[in-house]
């Protein structure tokens, strides 16, 4: 258990591509749609999507950190894909 905990919080668990650091779910929750920049925003949101491995690591970090509590399940488990899907759906209505 200690090895897993240490590896989750060490450099081994950092994002593999530093140029593509996903937005925090809190930031995505307050993201503003701009129809004039639809193509740019769609590309950015698609690039921010988390892989299954990233989601797994986020869930493990949330479970081993007993000092953080929130009523929002998606923020607690750092699941930005739900917010990304929501914003991409809204962008699909832009002309």
pLDDT on residue 2: 54
pLDDT on residue 35: 93
Residue pair 42/34 in contact by the 8 Å Cβ criterion: no
Q: Could you state, in chain order, the average pLDDT of each consecutive group of 10 residues for the chain (95 residues)?
A: 54 53 75 93 90 81 67 59 90 92
Taking each helix axis from N to C end, the angle separating 52-64 and 2-9, rounded to the nearest 10 degrees, works out to 120
pLDDT on residue 61: 76
pLDDT on residue 52: 86
> What are the domain boundaries of the chain?
24-92
Query: What's the alpha-carbon Rg for the chain, to the nearest Å?
Result: 15
The C-alpha angle 60, 10, 29, rounded to 5 degrees, equals 50
């Amino acid at each position: 258990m200690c090895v897993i905990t240490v590896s989750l919080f060490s450099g081994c668990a950092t994002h593999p591509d530093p140029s593509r650091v996903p937005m925090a779910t809190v930031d995505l929750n307050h993201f503003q749609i701009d129809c004039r920049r639809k193509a740019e925003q769609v590309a950015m949101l698609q690039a921010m999507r988390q892989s299954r491995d990233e989601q797994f690591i986020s869930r493990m970090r949330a479970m081993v950190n007993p000092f953080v509590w929130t009523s929002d399940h998606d923020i607690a488990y750092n699941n930005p894909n739900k917010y990304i899907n929501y914003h991409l759906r809204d962008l699909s209505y832009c002309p």
